[in-house]
Amino acid sequence: MTTDVTGERAWGRFEAPAVPDDEPRLRVDPSWTPAQLTRAIIGSVWKYVLVGASLRTLFNVTSVLLPVAVGKLIDTAVAPAVGGASAGEIAGPLALWTSVLIALYALMNVGFRFGGRAGWYGVQRAHFELSQHTLRRVLDERDLGASAHPPGRLLSLTTSDTFQACQSVYVSVYPPGELIGLLAAAGVLFWVHPALGVGTILVLPLVLGLMHLAAYPLRRRSKSEQAGLADAAAEAADLVAGFRVIQGLHAQPTATDRYRKVSRDALRASLAARSTEAAFEGASTAIGNVFAAVVTIGAALLAFGGHITVGQVVMVSSIAITLIGPLDALISVQGSIWAMSQASAERVLELLASPRQRTSPAAGAPDGAAVLEFRDLALTDGLVLDGRVDPGEFVVLDLPHAARGALGDLLTLRATPSAGEITFAGLAPAEHSSKHWRERALVAPHTPALLPGTVLDNVRATGDEPVPADAALTALAVAALTAEELPDGYHTAVGYGGWQLSGGQRQRIALARAVAADAELLVLDEPTTSVDAVTEQAIATAVRARRAGRTTLVLTSAPAFRAVADRVITGRRETKIDV
């Protein structure tokens, strides 16, 4: 990334910026159709599209002109030499058309190499910006929809699908050059003999129509293949992430059967797509070769009648063969890319359009007392929650597992109440500004998420700046995680996701991090399910002492926490009366 004369950040020539621009080139409206998103993607990299399409046009036109130069070389140098012309007589035409051939080869090479490269740069730039849109949606603090997708599916959407959607750039880079190449070929054939040009113009639409019909099953199969591969990738990622849980439940056979089914479905879709692709390639190749043969036979008949020269016969036959590539690419390759890009664009738009919580225009930092209240709050299965947690209280909320999950979704803004309300300092959580809510409240999830680094690094990672090391060590003591039970003490590397540690160790590291954050309101969801009863009692007592004067809400049924709590709140069930 470079800086221009105005001091503004500018993209480097061939790389994405180290930091995303505040004003992205690609703007996306989640209400768009896939075709509208495609137009926006292409428009965001129109310079690369223009350069790539121009160079690809150069390649296709020079590919058509190359047989012309070969034909002229035969007519002006080879044929006269065979007829007895002297070296001096053919030296000029030989040098001229040989130079033309070299120049055409050079231009054709430049167009081929750099045209595709410009298109590739366009795809990469668009992919970078579209992935930023999807990542912002997935990481949205006020999320209501993205959390409904399994993590593996989100991974597939933000990587594979965004890339496939951006490959639609190729549809603007390649087809214009191929169409112009076909028109140039028809023009050259008309120049050789009007009958050849008119016949080509009349037959080409028929050939393109046949190829389009042959490609229809391929596009349909490609869409199914892409969806199947995305589902398989998502399932694999989810199984890997939850392997320890699966192993603990002895559910490996069930998980294996589930993945095997998804994988086999993806395999069947891939095999069907490859079979259809092979059938299409055979059909398109046959159609293209028949077209080339018809054109060549027509040229041979004209040559026998003395209407065109031998060099022109070679010219026409070479052009006819050259046309097979553009015809095939125009229908098969671009058709497949378009089908897959539209399917991926549809999935990306579905993610971007998933609902999210909106902050009130008056949102900010309320001045009221930090009281947490539940008023007729509907959770699950008819369970309703009423209660009040005053500042500095240590309260246990004893709810069924499903109700705890529903409440966690409400507190982390993944859902909105279907009935009743929840307020903190007089405002619903969604009405606080994002910055204010993060500063005052911390909702620690039941499933811990650990970062690469050491145990101490993870406990210190509580905000924009790491907490002091002594505060982290104190929090580890509160969580009853001693240095002696770790291979390298608190400097033990947790590894990716912390999966090389035990479940109890991971849970206590996450608890220590939550305690170290020292939030005004701390909500813990079953923080000690993976430790023994003695350790759980020690943790409950230590957390109660450490959080003195700060508001703490523990969602648990554990007797150890109930014993140290100021109060225990339970939900009530509403009975439905049939009338």
DSSP 374-389: EEEEE-STTEEEEEEE
Q: What is the mean pLDDT of residues 541-549?
A: 92
Q: Is the pLDDT of residue 496 over 60?
A: yes
Question: Dihedrals φ, ψ of 141, to 5°?
Answer: -65, -30
3-state secondary structure of 568: strand
Beta-carbon contacts of 188 under 8 Å, excluding residues fewer than 6 positions away, are 64, 65, 68, 197, 315, 319
Q: Is the pLDDT of residue 264 over 60?
A: yes
| Angle formed by the axes of helices 169-192 and 194-241, nearest 10° | 160
Q: Is the pLDDT of residue 473 over 70?
A: yes
Cα distances from 144 to residues 5, 8, 69, in angstroms, run 43, 35, 64
- pLDDT for 361 equals 44
Beta-carbon contacts of 413 under 8 Å, excluding residues fewer than 6 positions away, are 141, 142, 143, 144, 357, 429, 430
Highest mean pLDDT among 139-148, 265-274, 472-481: 472-481
Q: Are 303 and 310 in contact (CB under 8 A)?
A: yes
Tell me the per-residue pLDDT of 291-319, one tens digit each, with 9 for 90 and over. Answer: 778 888 888 888 888 888 888 888 888 88
Q: What is the mean pLDDT of residues 95-116?
A: 92
Q: Is the pLDDT of residue 451 over 60?
A: yes
Q: What is the mean pLDDT of residues 11-37?
A: 72
What are the extents of the domains in the chain?
30-352, 372-573
Supply the pTM of this predicted model.
0.64
- pLDDT for 274 equals 66
Band (pLDDT 50/70/90 cuts) for residue 5 is very low
- pLDDT for 101 equals 92
Q: Which of 15-29, 224-238, 383-397, 475-489 is predicted with the least confidence, judged by mean pLDDT?
A: 224-238
Is the fold of 30-352 the same as that of 372-573? no
The whole-angstrom separation of Cα 468 and Cα 459 is 10
Beta-carbon contacts of 251 under 8 Å, excluding residues fewer than 6 positions away, are none
Band (pLDDT 50/70/90 cuts) for residue 465 is confident
The CATH number of 372-573 is: 3.40.50.300
Residue type, position 76, single letter:
T
**Pairing label, strands 441-444, 372-378:** unpaired
What percentage of the chain carries pLDDT values higher than 90? 18
DSSP 411-442: HTTSS--SSSEEEETTB-GGGB-HHHHHHHEE
The whole-angstrom separation of Cα 159 and Cα 136 is 13
- pLDDT for 564 equals 92
Tell me the per-residue pLDDT of 363-396, one tens digit each, with 9 for 90 and over. Answer: 444 555 678 888 888 888 778 888 888 898 999 9
Q: What is the mean pLDDT of residues 240-244?
A: 57
The whole-angstrom separation of Cα 301 and Cα 313 is 10
Between 469 and 152, where is the model more confident?
A: 469
3-state secondary structure of 9: strand
**Pairing label, strands 521-525, 441-444:** parallel
Taking alpha carbons only, the member of 433, 348, 445, 347 closest to residue 136 is: 348
Q: What is the mean pLDDT of residues 516-527?
A: 89
Between 273 and 13, where is the model more confident?
A: 273
Length of the chain: 579
Q: Where do we find the tokens 């040229």?
A: 299
- pLDDT for 579 equals 40
| Helix locations, 193-251, DSSP H | 194-241, 243-248
Torsional sign, CA 107, 112, 113, 116: positive
Q: Is the pLDDT of residue 421 over 60?
A: yes
- pLDDT for 474 equals 92
Beta-carbon contacts of 298 under 8 Å, excluding residues fewer than 6 positions away, are 195, 196, 199, 316
Q: What is the mean pLDDT of residues 150-159?
A: 74
Q: Is the pLDDT of residue 218 over 60?
A: no
State the DSSP H helix or E strand holding residue 327, giving kind and residue range, or none if neither: helix 324-328
- pLDDT for 88 equals 85
Domain 30-352 architecture: Up-down Bundle (1.20)
